[in-house]
Each structure stands twice: as C-alpha cells, then as structure tokens.
Amino acid sequence: MIQEGFIKSEQTTIEYKGQEYPCKELTNIHGDVDYVATTALSDAMGEDADEWGDEEREVDEQMCYYLSEEDFNATDDRIAEILNEAGCMIADPDAY
C-alpha cells in the first residue's frame, strides 16, 4: 500500500483526436479512481480552456492532474507526493 493515499496505479492510455496519450489510473484507499496524464495531452488540447470544445472538456474532466514526462515515470510514491503537494484529493487520505 502506498502511504500517501492511493493503493493501485495502473498505466493505460486515453485517446484524443485520434492519438493515444499515456495516463495512469489511480485508485485510492477508499476505492475512488482518478487519472493523471502527461503534459503532452494538455499541450495537445491547448492552453486556453475558454476555446476548448466538448471533446477537450470531456478529456480534461477525467484528469486530476497533468505530470511532466519525468514525473509521470517516477515511482508511485513520488507521484503521490506530487499530487499531495498540488492538493489533489486522490492522494490525500485525510481528505475523506
């Protein structure tokens, strides 16, 4: 079990505009699931959320955080630490 709050991390992909991007499915100690992706996905969607269409909003709503490639490939403990620092509830057992 990962101390910082999620107990399972599984790498998967998400499709956006016909291209697959890596993401990780994180399951916390309460069974809730959230996703993190690399900044490559957020970059592909564009910086201005006001200009996003339905597809971008739908993809973004699935993500709790976007990580650099280096952080995405870090250990689960390091990812949990990053998410805790960012205030993401998935990795904060005290948030429940």
> What DSSP letter does each residue of 6-57 carry, written as one string?
EEEEEEEEEEETTEEEEEEEEEETTS-EEEEEEHHHHHHH-S-GGG--HHHH
pLDDT at 76: 87
Please report, as a single letter, which amino acid is at residue 15.
E
Q: Indicate the pTM of the whole model.
A: 0.83
H or E segment and range at residue 78? helix 76-86
pLDDT per position as a tens digit, 42-68: 999 998 889 999 999 999 999 989 999
pLDDT of residue 1: 37
The stretches in the chain having pLDDT less than 70 are 1-6, 89-96
Give the pLDDT of residue 96.
45
